[in-house]
Amino acid sequence: MRIIRIIAQIGILYFFYYVGVFLVDLTHLPLPASIVGLLLLVGCLQMKWIKIEYIRDGAGLLLGSMTLFFIPAMLGIIDYPELLSINGLILIVSVIVSTLMTIYFAGIISQKIEQKELKMKEKKEGKEGKIIESSHLHH
């Protein structure tokens, strides 16, 4: 029974994927079809058109073994021996440096934004607190 349920749920995910493929073909949007499908599915979940239970087990199974699905594509590097050249080395070093800089900038800036957001919330809560207080006084 569980197997049939999982297969049916994967069918639902496939359906959204193919709707994504259809929309990308139709509109020539430069977006991966799977991301379009994902956004549509999140929208349907949000609107309560689809219950989360309808996809939970299927999504769980696919996400749990997702690594397996991109191994065949990774093997494709055997057709690109260029990676073992000077240009390949520059490519790899640039990825390393860029990743370190990204972690640094994103960390520092999001920490600043977080402090601002916390302050904003405190102010808001402070105000709401006062309003409640003053309405208490009136009654």
- Determine if 6 is a binding residue for another protein (CB under 8 A): no
The DSSP annotation for 36-69 comes to HHHHHHHHHHHTTSS-GGGTHHHHHHHHHTHHHH
Give the C-alpha separation, 7 to 30, whole Å: 30
Closest CA relative to residue 50, chosen from 9, 20, 84? 9
- Determine if 8 is a binding residue for another protein (CB under 8 A): no
Residues 48-107 contacting another protein, CB under 8 A:
52, 55-56, 58-60, 62-63, 66-80, 83, 87, 90-92, 94-107
Give the C-alpha separation, 37 to 29, whole Å: 13
Q: Which two tokens stand for residue 126?
A: 């402070």
Instruction: Return the number of the residue (5 or 45) whose C-beta is nearest another protein.
Output: 45
- Determine if 26 is a binding residue for another protein (CB under 8 A): no
Stretch that binds another protein, among 42-50, 122-130, 131-139 (CB under 8 A): 42-50
Number of residues that bind another protein (CB under 8 A): 70
Q: What is the DSSP letter of 10?
A: H
Amino acid at 110: S
Binding positions for another protein, rule: CB under 8 A: 10, 13-14, 16-17, 20-21, 30-35, 37-39, 41-42, 45-46, 52, 55-56, 58-60, 62-63, 66-80, 83, 87, 90-92, 94-111, 113-114, 116-117
